[in-house]
Structure 1
């Protein structure tokens, strides 16, 4: 059964929509959300369709369903704020970029956190690095009930936090820590999303804060560089030296919060100045 784990913190007239990653949960965005709220933002940590349940719940959905839930959450937040920012972790970063490409008049800026177009980090097993072949296997009907199981260090450099998260994940508490594995077919859907977003990057004209762990165990920095090179917008690259993939909860989360709040504030100030000048 899918559990609802979304959160909403009411603040000022600038709002941030936060999107978790594949097989993840809004809990991985909650600390970032609290920090942004403390900085004055209205924050909605949304839950993607099919997530926070079991593998069958997830397999009943695809990337278009996940994106539709992002659009619904964005529409809801747009009714409450004057400036809409969107930030996502891992696959959530791709969904955030797609929203910016599709809605250039509505998205003021993007927080691109640990963007994952390919799983090519140092902890990914050799077999899993071939997961870009999964869309073909899905079309052939092969491997519907197969999964790539999560591997230590689970995207978390902080050992104490890693132990807490892995215990919750492996105990089956998907609402708190996500699923312990990535179903092949869901990964195939993610690669379909990644291909779509790569084509659409030149249509992103909202300023982007691209934050990535320099020693990311799941997705190498090449993923961040793809965004910096591909978008048609001002970018700021933030490389975090003491974190792994889950930068929203790992050791440098406060640095990420500070940079995100300052970046979004600068975008609002620049936009207001432009309107005054006009």
Structure 2
């Protein structure tokens, strides 16, 4: 099945610091492309994969599960680790869920996390009906383009495949249970007005992780897909500041190890 125009994965080689980005449920790399390009323009080696089942037809997602999406992120992470000295991981919505899972599983291999409106639990009681409903109804109306900025559009499926959604709900409790294993530096962005993922998800993450280096930023002028919204530049700028603070990026030009203090 051919990939939708604009949904293609994105990669660019740069210096010895890598940044892996993960898009959201039913979304595509398009929602994070401006972020990825900004990071790459500033010298990072960037990877923004297209997750399995995404970017083609919503019916294709019915054949995938959270294990497939996580495997896609893990492959991209290992590829970056083979080329970079440090690798940061960022994600939007379910991409943030996958980033947290990677941090839980891979420990110090993850240099830091940048999360934008991550999801870690069900906020709608109707989701409890999914085990039965998915056999009766194949899909529901899509959740894409929750964006405040006028004329901004997210490239996402127009339908939510319920088998895939049910799989996502089974990932959330696993991620929640292991949140105390997250010890890496964390930069978390949250939109007070989010019509897809309740802000309580971010509160859960902040309350349960074990990280001591934690920064939380409000996105007052953005909805869920904040990476395409009015506060996008804040996300991009703060992300680079976060990386620079934790590395010597501004002195990297040839990939050599910097002198230790």
Fold conserved between structures, TM > 0.5: yes
The question of 1:235 aligning with 2:238 is answered: no
- Structure 1 position 104, deviation (Å): 0.7
- Structure 1 position 24, deviation (Å): 0.6
Contact 1:119–1:218 (Cα < 8 Å) also in 2:
no
Contact 2:146–2:196 (Cα < 8 Å) also in 1:
yes
The question of 1:158 aligning with 2:158 is answered: no
CA distance in 1, matches of 2:78, 2:126: 33
Judged with a 3 Å threshold, the aligned counterparts in structure 2 of structure 1 residues 192 and 135 are, in CA distance, closer, same or farther, namely: farther
The question of 1:48 aligning with 2:26 is answered: no
The question of 1:104 aligning with 2:107 is answered: yes
- Specify the alignment match of 1:32 in structure 2: 35
CA distance in 1, matches of 2:33, 2:129: 31
What TM-score results when the alignment is normalised by the length of structure 1? 0.84
Q: After superposition, give the CA deviation of every residue in 1:39-94 in whole Å (9 maximum; x if it has no partner).
A: 22111111111111212211111001111111111111111111101111100100
What TM-score results when the alignment is normalised by the length of structure 2? 0.89
Contact 2:59–2:161 (Cα < 8 Å) also in 1:
no
CA distance in 2, matches of 1:74, 1:134: 34
* Alignment length (residue pairs): 249
1:247 aligned to 221, 226, 245, which one?
Answer: 226
- Specify the alignment match of 1:72 in structure 2: 75
Judged with a 3 Å threshold, the aligned counterparts in structure 2 of structure 1 residues 205 and 28 are, in CA distance, closer, same or farther, namely: same
Judged with a 3 Å threshold, the aligned counterparts in structure 2 of structure 1 residues 130 and 2 are, in CA distance, closer, same or farther, namely: farther
Judged with a 3 Å threshold, the aligned counterparts in structure 2 of structure 1 residues 50 and 38 are, in CA distance, closer, same or farther, namely: same
Q: After superposition, give the CA deviation of every residue in 1:190-234 in whole Å (9 maximum; x if it has no partner).
A: 111111100111111111111111211211211111111111112
- Specify the alignment match of 1:257 in structure 2: 236
- Structure 1 position 262, deviation (Å): 0.6
Runs of 4+ displaced beyond 4 Å: none
Contact 1:134–1:188 (Cα < 8 Å) also in 2:
no
- Structure 1 position 105, deviation (Å): 2.5
Matching of residues 104-143 of structure 1 within 5 Å? 104-118=107-121, 120=123, 129-137=124-132, 142-143=135-136
- Structure 1 position 131, deviation (Å): 4.1
- Specify the alignment match of 1:186 in structure 2: 164
CA distance in 1, matches of 2:143, 2:204: 25
Task: Identify unmatched segments of 5+ residues in structure 2.
Answer: 250-258
The question of 1:86 aligning with 2:79 is answered: no
- Structure 1 position 256, deviation (Å): 0.5
CA distance in 1, matches of 2:83, 2:163: 36
Task: Identify unmatched segments of 5+ residues in structure 1.
Answer: 121-128, 166-176
1:195 aligned to 165, 173, 178, which one?
Answer: 173
Q: CA RMSD in A?
A: 2.1
Contact 1:131–1:187 (Cα < 8 Å) also in 2:
no
